[in-house]
Amino acid sequence: GLVRQGWSVSETSSLYNVSTQRKTWTESRQDCIERGADLVIINSKEEQDFITKLMGNNNQAWIGLSDRDTEGKWKWVDGTEQTSSTGFWYKGEPNDEKNNEDCGELWKFPDKMAWNDRPCTDKSKWICEKN
């Protein structure tokens, strides 16, 4: 697809960038903000598919989703609630393993790329989005 100064452009004109480093969810978000962006918010099947292609060989990246404020209530970084009907969680996820998984990631499961919840302090690549 179209790439502009290191950012990939989607059909809805959002710009996306997959990191090369690994950071915690909070550090990842801070990096996006410093670059005039935020962690990616995924609103549609089209966007999920676009991001999946963008991931290339990367099998893991933070997205802008967490339930840190209220356990079980998943919110995007813009404050909007993520409702189950519009999500791409893998089957059985989010499972809050060891009561310690409050941040959302894209993860390459055996059959597809889907969302998983993971400890926010794990270090991972991440995806920024800006308009």
* Secondary structure of residue 18 in the 3-state scheme: strand
* Secondary structure of residue 126 in the 3-state scheme: strand
Nearest Cα to Cα of residue 47 among 79, 9, 19: 9
Q: Shortest distance, CB of residue 130 to Ca ion, whole angstroms?
A: 28
Closer to ligand 2F8 by Cβ: residue 8 or 124: 124
Q: What is the Cα–Cα distance from 10 to 85, expressed in whole angstroms?
A: 23
Query: Per CB under 6 A, does 92 bind ligand 2F8?
Result: yes
Binding residue (CB under 6 A) for ligand 2F8 from 101, 113, 124, 126: 101
Closer to ligand 2F8 by Cβ: residue 29 or 118: 118
Interacting span for ligand 2F8 (CB under 6 A) from 27-35, 53-61, 80-88, 93-101: 93-101
Q: What is the enclosing helix (H) or strand (E) of 28?
A: helix 25-34
